[in-house]
Structure 1
Amino acid sequence: MAEEPIAQELASACIGPDGSAIGMPQLCGEWVGNQVFWLILTLVAIYFVLSRVALPRIAAILAERQGTISNDLAKAEDLKRQAEEAEKAYEKALVDARAEAQRIAEETRAEIRDEVAKAQEDADRQIAAKTAESEQQIAAIRASALENVEAVAKDTAEAFMGALGLGADRAELDGAVDQRLKG
């Protein structure tokens, strides 16, 4: 029976008679010191592992990412600046092209106006020449017609006088027709 008091001494409020824990062992007040020791030891081990291994790797990755981000931002700024310069150059080229197109259009209009003016002058000259030629032809036709009218009038007068049975001198008939034609 001597063993029983030792067993009772070893038995505590947290261990049952069969040696199993009663309730939650973490909440047993007799084991708190032991639990605090292992907690501190575990935390120190985690701290050293984190501070010597994990955190430097994470810091290196963060620094690398920050460098990549900085480089990408610098490249983006450079590309933005280049895009702005390209846009300015495009706008300038567009303005120059419009001005050049306007100049070419104005030159073409001026050339067309000159060609039209020349063509109109040539046409006016040709028309004036044709008009003068036509007027000469008309004057010649009128003169010829007047001569023909005079000749026809004289012949008609002579034929009329002959038809009436009156004898008339050709010179008298010509003088009477000339006098009548003059007015």
Structure 2
Amino acid sequence: MSQSTFVVAEATTETPSAEVPAVTGETGQTTESTGHDGGHAGAFPPMDATTYPSQIFWLVVFFGLLYVLMSRLALPRMAQVLERRHSAIAGDLAKASALKNETELAIQSYEKALADARAGAQAIASETRARIGGEVESERAALDKTLAARIADAEARIAASKTLAMKDVGDVAAETAAEIVAELTGTQVSKADVAKAISGLKG
């Protein structure tokens, strides 16, 4: 019995060991064939013609969503921003134009005021010159009259002084002549006689 049991056990032990390589070999072959077939059977998904419909579908969906987002959110905001910028620029241009017009009006007003001031200054200068000239002429005429009166008075005084001086000179000459005659001749001669003699000499 023990010998038959050992044989049976040995046969049982050897049978699985003989079958395992066969199974392993078949599994390896199956794996190799599967790996070989899987590596060459499929293509790159974007280039696979069988996925074109789904790709086109999702492309349309995403572009539709992008269009909706752009048209409903981004584009209105951009339009509002551009409109605000255009409004601000238009307002700035209007303000600049208004300031330019005001500046031109101010310059014209300044130039007009300056021209009026110059004309007024010239008129005042002319009027002042005329008034001063008239006053000078009046003062000159009054001064000429005063000087003429003073000159006439002075000439009259000079003439009177000259007449008086000449009369005094005649008296002095007569006295001197009478004294000279008295000294020379020893005869007393009156002043009236000497004056007559001098007058006769002058005549």
TM bucket normalised to smaller: 0.7 to 0.9
CA contact (8 A) 2:182 2:189 kept: no
Deviates further, 79-88 or 103-112: 79-88
2:96 paired residue number: 76
Task: State the alpha-carbon separation in 2 of the partners of residues 66 and 110 from structure 1.
Answer: 65
1:8 paired residue number: 37
Instruction: Select the residue among 183, 191, 195 that pairs with 1:163.
Output: 183
Report the TM-score, using the length of structure 2 for normalisation: 0.73
**Which structure 2 segments of 5+ residues have no match?**
1-26
Note the alpha carbon deviations across 1:19-41, whole angstroms, 9 max, x for none.
xxxxxx7xx52276255544433
1:141 paired residue number: 161
Instruction: Select the residue among 193, 196, 202 that pairs with 1:172.
Output: 193
1:41 paired residue number: 61
Amino acid at match of 1:8: D
How well do the aligned residues superpose, as a CA RMSD in angstroms? 2.5
Amino acid at match of 1:139: A
Amino acid at match of 2:196: G
Task: State the alpha-carbon separation in 2 of the partners of residues 41 and 6 from structure 1.
Answer: 36
2:131 paired residue number: 111
Amino acid at match of 1:176: A
2:14 paired residue number: none
Shift of 1:96: 0.8
- Listed as ranges, the matches of 1:25-36 within 5 Å are 29-30=47-48, 33=52, 35-36=55-56
User: Aligned residue pairs: how many?
Assistant: 170
**Which structure 1 segments of 5+ residues have no match?**
15-24
Q: Report percent identity of matched pairs.
A: 39
CA contact (8 A) 1:150 1:178 kept: no
Structure 1 residue 132 corresponds to structure 2 residue 171: no
Deviates further, 67-76 or 135-144: 67-76
Shift of 1:7: 8.3
Amino acid at match of 2:71: S
1:17 paired residue number: none
Shift of 1:99: 0.7
Shift of 1:8: 3.2
2:48 aligns to what SS in structure 1? helix
2:5 paired residue number: none
Task: State the alpha-carbon separation in 1 of the partners of residues 140 and 195 from structure 2.
Answer: 51
Shift of 1:82: 2.0
Report the TM-score, using the length of structure 1 for normalisation: 0.80
